[in-house]
Amino acid sequence: MVWWFYVPNIVFGEDALDELEQIKGKKAFIVTDKVVNSLGLTERVCSILTNRQWEAAIWDGAVPDPKVSTVKAAAEAIKHFGADWIIAVGGGSVIDTAKAAWVLYERPDIELHALTPFDELGLRAKAKLACIPTTAGTGSEATKAIVIRDDETGRKFATINPELTPDLAILDPEFVVGLPKELTAYTGMDALTHAVEGYISIWKNDFSDGSSLQALKMVFEWLPKSLDDLSDLESREKMLVAACLAGMSFGNSQAALAHSLGHSMGSVLRTHHGMSVGMALPFTIEFNCRGKENEEIAKQYTELARMIGIAGKKPETVSLKFATAIRELMTKIGNPQSFKEAGIKKKDFNAGLENMVEFAMMDTSLTMNPRNIDSDEIRKIYKYMYDGTVIDF
Ligand SMILES: NC(=O)c1ccc[n+]([C@@H]2O[C@H](COP(=O)([O-])OP(=O)(O)OC[C@H]3O[C@@H](n4cnc5c(N)ncnc54)[C@H](O)[C@@H]3O)[C@@H](O)[C@H]2O)c1
Ligand SMILES: [Fe+2]
């Protein structure tokens, strides 16, 4: 069978930003958010380009978990400016805003809701896309995916199209060195979840497998080090690489149950994406690996577990140990392991539960989960997740 593996050109390491000296064009439109803009990072990007006699504009209207209306505002601003490069400087929300606005800039006739992986968009007739991540987590700089929120329902929906793979990803540790502790932990958990889910998705392939294994090993080694010393450029660079590798993996094989659960938590309770999928991850491993009929899935978790030194004879037992190791990592770095620990009140959880179940069932990542699941099981997993009870069904 023929299969594809999409990745951008990737430049990484200290001074990776200098790659901007090489790109060809005249007009750059920089998409960012107010927090990142205030850190002076966009100014650095701008000055490299304007020193080369480019015209550059900064748009800082992106917000966490962007809505369709945010994307439309960005697209209008790009159209008004007339860019030949769009440069995203920010976390996953900024990068997704830039990617989706790029689609609307090139193809104003497209409805983001209706975008499919099979559409021939003809992107790059007007502009190319470069991404400079300021968080080490989403890997969006390497994926063909966008995650946007519906304005009316608040539901986050993910959509993919191969043409959305950025042209260039610049992984410069100086762009993440200022990321605070909590966001470092949460975004790192997103990278870990991509590494694990990219490896067990039913669309997994040899290229995504290789990327996942290395990403997993690197997250376990470098995420705690990033948190021990937030200013350490080496661990920041390693986490940027790990997140990008994990993005290459799941971007080409897709995410699974933890992302369906996590997207819906973000939609309904407005929890951070990485915190949410990270919290869900061990519960989904415990669900997916249960019983003789799921032994093939458990074997895949065993291969992942081996990368962090966990071995054993029975795949299910090793998978459960793997889930425990992920919980231990979360204890070390401070990612909540239950809704309760995340400070979600029982009444808010109960009020949002049915919405979360409905949204999780609609989430595209669910299709790629290796074990089938119905809405009753999703509801039950969420209930176990409230107190942090280990899954036993
Ligand atoms: N398209 C994809 O492939 C993909 C993959 C995973 C996640 N996502 C999406 O990405 C979004 C999450 O992105 P995220 O986790 O990177 O966070 P984010 O982009 O939503 O940013 C979270 C907060 O961190 C701040 N921030 C970002 N960089 C900073 C820095 N260097 N210093 C200080 N503050 C900084 C932002 O201003 C914001 O307030 C979600 O919407 C998620 O669904 C997309
Ligand atoms: Fe994610």
- Whether the Cβ atoms of residue 254 and residue 365 lie closer than 8 Å to each other: yes
Atom of ligand 1 nearest to the CA of 263: 43
At a CB cut-off of 8 Å and minimum separation 6, what does 160 contact? 117, 143, 144, 145, 146, 251, 254
Dist. CA 65 → ligand 1 center (Å): 8
Residue 65 alpha carbon, nearest atom of ligand 1: 41
Full set of structural domains in the chain with CATH: 9-175 (3.40.50.1970), 181-387 (1.20.1090.10)
Give me ligand 1 centre to Cα 291, in Å: 37
Output the tens digit of pLDDT for each of the chain's 393 residues: 889 999 999 999 999 999 999 999 999 999 999 999 999 999 999 999 999 999 999 999 999 999 999 999 999 999 999 999 999 999 999 999 999 999 999 999 999 999 999 999 999 999 999 999 999 999 999 999 999 999 999 999 999 999 999 999 999 999 999 999 999 999 999 999 999 999 999 999 999 999 999 999 999 999 999 999 999 999 999 999 999 999 999 999 999 999 999 999 999 999 999 999 999 999 999 999 999 999 999 999 999 999 999 999 999 999 999 999 999 999 999 999 999 999 999 999 999 999 999 999 999 999 999 999 999 999 999 999 999 999 999
pTM across the whole model: 0.97
Ligand nearest to the CA of 158: 1
Task: Write the DSSP string, 325-348.
Answer: HHHHHHHHHT--SSTTTTT--HHH
Of all protein residues, whose CA lies closest to atom 17 belonging to ligand 1? 91
Nearest atom within ligand 1 for CA of residue 149: 41
Q: Output Rg (C-alpha) for the chain, integer angstroms.
A: 20
